[in-house]
Structure 1
Amino acid sequence: MKKLFLFIALGLFLVTSSFAQGEIRLGVKAGLNLASIGGDAYYTGFGGFNSRTSFHIGGLVEVPVTDKISVQPEILYSSQGSKTNYGFGTTENSKLDYLNIPVMGKYHIIQGLSAELGPVIGILVNAESVDFETGLVGETKDQYKGLDIGIGIGASYRLPMGFFGSLRYNKGVTDINDIKDEDFNAKNQNNVFQVSAGYSF
């Protein structure tokens, strides 16, 4: 699965590079994730899912297509999931780690400022639950599907010297549950708000 992921990433880079109409930029980025799980069984408070704070880190390539439009494939390690409140003081941290490939179409509004929209393809690399009271860790990867697809929307601002900041919201559109139980039919999706800082050259 990881080899397929890297093959897709390489293919995207080669395809977008072939349409380049200007200087291609390479960059790195990292930042904060505010992640949650939404869907049929989503509700906050007693017995529900709450936001989990974590991180993302990775690299990007920005390929200009016209003066106003560019394409930006990225490869990010993104730690997602949620906090789950079961009531009676019992809270569990559901940790879902993905290798994500966002492919952002960027529209440059003014110098430095751009709006972003595009698909986000994720490969699940690790899943575990951590009980806050006992510290016990349980492997849960078999409960989730290996592939996740979402839509990312956001904005970024790049300074002339190459440093940039961005805000993005990734809305999951596919069901992440893979629990093989005929009595369980809930559908859930990943939702992630990201604040990033980086450098491109």
Structure 2
Amino acid sequence: MKKTILSLALLAGLTSAAQAQTGLKLGLKGGFNGATFSGTDSKGSQYKAGFAAGGLLNYGFSDLISVQGELLYSQKGGSRDYDNGAGKTYTDKTTLGYIDVPILLKVTAGDGGKGPFFELGPQGSFVLHQRSFTEDSGGKQVGPSYTSTDALNKVVIGYVAGIGYQLTSGLGIGLRYTGDLSQVYKDGGTAVATTVGGVTTTVTNPNVHNSVFQLQAHYLFGGK
């Protein structure tokens, strides 16, 4: 009888532990983006502020290992100062809007599903919109804004790597870097002549990639 009771207690304990360590959780997240361009034609690119926000699904195989998929709206782009050749300085500013879909392996180093975590995985990004324009040294827009996405690659592939801290309440904070392997613009774009400050220049699609640091907070519903 004692052996039977002990066996049942042990089974109940193992079942409870398994339930605590595994399962599907839904979540929300959002935060700050510091975005710029990297790549062959990125010389002079500067960071611009943006944001990211959306939802996530996290499936835990244990307190240590989980897989997390996210669906985020994310602002990217960058700015670049240049001299037009006539002694005047201008700034090109570009804001790009994407839907990011990262699939991440998440390792949580603490006990009970809380503590420091590390995440790594691929990301697919789908362009939604863009706005590009030029400002003079006084911050005044010169020339038209460009909003067409025709010159952009509609889907780009990249990667995500990050660290953070998870609480058992479901609240967490993280810092991550996302970099694109695909170019922002299509190869072999048609040259476009633009005139700024009385100087006409011919612009072709640059070879650049999105490069973004993200500081994010999230909440997992169903956290312990």
Q: TM-score range by the shorter chain?
A: 0.7 to 0.9
Structure 1 counterpart of 2:145, which letter? V
- TM-score, normalising length: structure 2: 0.73
Q: How many angstroms apart in 2 are the aligned matches of 1:174 and 1:194?
A: 19
Question: Which of 42, 66, 71 lines up with 1:70 in the alignment?
Answer: 66
- Contact between 1:37 and 1:189, CA under 8 Å: does it hold in 2? yes
Q: Partner of 1:6 in structure 2?
A: none
Give me the CA root mean square deviation. Answer: 1.9
Question: Which of 109, 115, 118 lines up with 2:118 in the alignment?
Answer: 115
Counterparts of residues 55-134 of structure 1 (less than 5 Å)? 55-87=51-83, 88-110=88-110, 111-132=114-135, 133-134=140-141
Q: Point out where structure 1 has 5 or more consecutive residues left out of the alignment.
A: 1-20
Structure 2 counterpart of 1:22, which letter? T
Post-superposition CA distance 1:22-78 (Å, at most 9, x none): 22111111100000111111112xxxx211111000011110123421000000000
Counterparts of residues 132-143 of structure 1 (less than 5 Å)? 132=135, 133-134=140-141, 136-143=144-151
Q: How many angstroms apart in 1 are the aligned matches of 2:62 and 2:182?
A: 32
Q: How many angstroms apart in 1 are the aligned matches of 2:148 and 2:38?
A: 18
Counterparts of residues 1-201 of structure 1 (less than 5 Å)? 22-44=22-44, 49-87=45-83, 88-110=88-110, 111-132=114-135, 133-134=140-141, 136-178=144-186, 180-181=189-190, 184=204, 186-201=206-221
Which has the greater radius of gyration? 2
Q: How many angstroms apart in 2 are the aligned matches of 1:186 and 1:129?
A: 14
- Contact between 1:156 and 1:166, CA under 8 Å: does it hold in 2? yes
Partner SS state of residue 42, structure 1? coil
- TM-score, normalising length: structure 1: 0.81
Q: How many angstroms apart in 1 are the aligned matches of 2:218 and 2:63?
A: 22
Post-superposition CA distance 1:104-126 (Å, at most 9, x none): 11011123221000011100000
Runs of 4+ in 1 over 4 A off after TM superposition: 182-186
